[in-house]
């Protein structure tokens, strides 16, 4: 056969495959109806593994066995997606515990942030709630979460990600440990300055204090001065206050100009951050699970075993339902070796059909799924 004849033959085979695929999906719809009536789970990994093994055993040659396995793995994944969609249309929408509000009620509310006045968390709180808001600080991020959970603070301001240094990983874990919800976010430009006492000069500096993220974000400037000792602190404003209280011109802090003004320090150099486009993303947290009508981002987390294809299968729910994923971050699950919790940001609203279908599938295949917020 010449190329034209081969292509005609391939077209005929493809047409047959398409017809058989539609027939298969029709039968999958009947399977969904049966499982809906009986309460049987859609995802049966043991059944799928047996079927893949049987089908690959029919193929000739190593390449075909591998290809047939991948083909039918995808086929069964599509079958599950279709069954989930069918079931989502037939059943009551899962109650995620959220309620809609027209706007966030922020007037007369108390807002907590971690650190001291002059910290970037303080700047984020003022930027979102206004300079006249009732803003106070706590020592630890755990304290912030507890303040919100127990109602002493109406809102909390939590840093979660920096454009230069990446995720604030420990704070992701706090989103799972505490029953608080994301209701908004704000992005704060971050410019670090090297701050010293009023009598200090750059040549006097021997020790530099800052939060680990600030040290990382200013690594090029700091590491070029090899004699300097870098000391981690829980917060940049805490570092600035220490330098002020010690009054030692050998000490310097990496912090904002605002912190320098608050604690009577002068800039010795700056901005010193590696990137001039250095931004930190802060989450606004509430113990009330609410979302606004114009919300366009959803954050969720779920747990998966360390097995081949588990993450691929879950993320396929977004792909199939045309839901765009903006971010994914993984964290090891304490006490369970090689198992991970994944944090994902997607575009959409909790009332979007595609989002509902995607969550429907994820909630049936992943463990401990939690929607952290729609904002």
Rounded to 5 degrees, φ, ψ at 66 are -65, -45
Looking from the CA of 113 toward its CB, the CA atoms found within 13 Å total 27
Quote the pLDDT of residue 296: 96
| Catalytic residue annotation | 280, 282
Average pLDDT value for residue range 32-59: 92
Rounded to 5 degrees, φ, ψ at 36 are -65, -40
CATH class, domain 99-190+279-292, is alpha beta
Distance CA 125, CA 118 (A): 11
Please count the other Cβ atoms lying within 10 Å of the Cβ belonging to residue 189: 13
CATH class, domain 193-269, is alpha beta
**How many angstroms separate the Cα of 206 from the Cα of each of 193, 221, 252, 253?**
16, 14, 8, 11
Quote the pLDDT of residue 4: 95
Average pLDDT value for residue range 29-57: 92
pLDDT (tens digit, 9 = 90+) per residue, 300-355? 999 988 887 889 889 999 999 999 999 999 999 988 888 889 999 999 999 999 99
Which residues fall within 8 angstroms of residue 193, CB to CB, at 6 or more apart?
254, 255, 256, 257, 260, 267, 268, 269, 270, 271, 272
* Eight-class DSSP state of 251: E
Q: Is the pLDDT of residue 109 over 90?
A: yes
Domain ranges of the chain: 11-91, 99-190+279-292, 193-269, 294-375
Quote the pLDDT of residue 374: 98
Mean pLDDT value across the chain? 94
At the topology level, CATH places domain 294-375 in Alpha-Beta Plaits (3.30.70)
Quote the pLDDT of residue 160: 97
Three-class secondary structure of residue 310 per DSSP = helix
User: Lowest-pLDDT range, 87-91, 234-238, 309-313?
Assistant: 87-91
Residue matched to tokens 């304290």: 143
Distance CA 255, CA 237 (A): 6
Do 11-91 and 99-190+279-292 have matching folds? no
Selection from 130, 133, 137 nearest residue 114 by Cα: 137
Question: At 166, which helix (H) or strand (E)?
Answer: strand 166-167
Banded model confidence at residue 71, pLDDT cuts 50, 70, 90: very high
Selection from 278, 53, 249, 252 nearest residue 165 by Cα: 278
Rounded to 5 degrees, φ, ψ at 304 are -135, 145
59 vs 339: which has the higher pLDDT: 59
pLDDT (tens digit, 9 = 90+) per residue, 197-211? 999 999 999 999 999
Q: Is the pLDDT of residue 92 over 80?
A: no
Average pLDDT value for residue range 353-373: 94
Quote the pLDDT of residue 91: 80
At the topology level, CATH places domain 11-91 in Chorismate Mutase Domain, subunit A (1.20.59)
pLDDT (tens digit, 9 = 90+) per residue, 136-194? 999 999 999 999 999 999 999 999 999 988 899 999 999 999 999 999 999 999 999 99
Quote the pLDDT of residue 157: 99
Quote the pLDDT of residue 306: 80
Looking from the CA of 203 toward its CB, the CA atoms found within 13 Å total 0
Beta bridge partners of 301: 343, 370
């Amino acid at each position: 056969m010449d190329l034209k004849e081969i292509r005609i033959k391939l077209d005929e085979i493809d047409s047959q495959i398409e017809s058989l695929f539609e027939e298969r999906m029709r039968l999958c719809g009947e399977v969904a109806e049966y499982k809906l009536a009986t309460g049987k789970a859609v995802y049966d990994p043991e059944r799928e593994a047996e079927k893949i093994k049987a089908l690959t055993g029919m193929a000739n040659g190593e390449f075909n066995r591998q290809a047939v396995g991948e083909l039918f793995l995808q086929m069964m994944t599509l079958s599950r997606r279709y069954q989930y969609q069918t079931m989502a249309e037939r059943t009551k929408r899962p109650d995620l515990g959220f309620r809609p509000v027209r706007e966030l009620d922020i007037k007369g509310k108390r807002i907590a942030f971690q650190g001291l006045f002059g910290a970037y968390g303080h700047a984020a709180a003022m930027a979102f709630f206004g300079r006249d808001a009732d803003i106070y600080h706590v020592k630890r991020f755990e304290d912030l979460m507890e303040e919100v959970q127990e109602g002493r603070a109406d809102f909390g301001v939590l840093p979660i990600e920096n454009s230069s240094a990446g995720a604030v990983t420990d704070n992701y874990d706090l989103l799972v440990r505490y029953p608080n919800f994301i209701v908004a976010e704000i992005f704060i430009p971050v410019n670090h300055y090297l701050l010293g006492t009023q009598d200090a000069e750059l040549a006097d500096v021997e020790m530099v204090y800052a939060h680990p993220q600030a040290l990382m974000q200013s690594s090029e400037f700091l590491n070029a001065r090899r004699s300097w000792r870098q000391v981690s602190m829980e917060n940049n404003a805490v570092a600035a206050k220490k330098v002020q209280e010690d009054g030692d011109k050998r000490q310097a802090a990496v912090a904002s100009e605002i912190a320098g003004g608050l604690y009577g320090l002068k800039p010795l150099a700056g901005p010193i951050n590696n990137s001039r486009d250095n931004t930190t993303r802060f989450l606004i947290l509430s113990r009330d699970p609410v979302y606004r009508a114009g919300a366009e981002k959803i954050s969720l987390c779920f747990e998966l075993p360390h097995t081949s294809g588990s993450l691929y299968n879950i993320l396929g729910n977004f792909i199939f339902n045309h839901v765009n994923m903006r971010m994914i971050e993984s964290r090891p699950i304490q006490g369970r070796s090689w198992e991970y919790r994944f944090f994902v940001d997607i575009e959409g609203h909790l009332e979007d059909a595609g989002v509902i279908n995607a969550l429907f599938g994820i909630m049936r295949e992943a463990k401990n799924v939690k929607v952290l917020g729609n904002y």
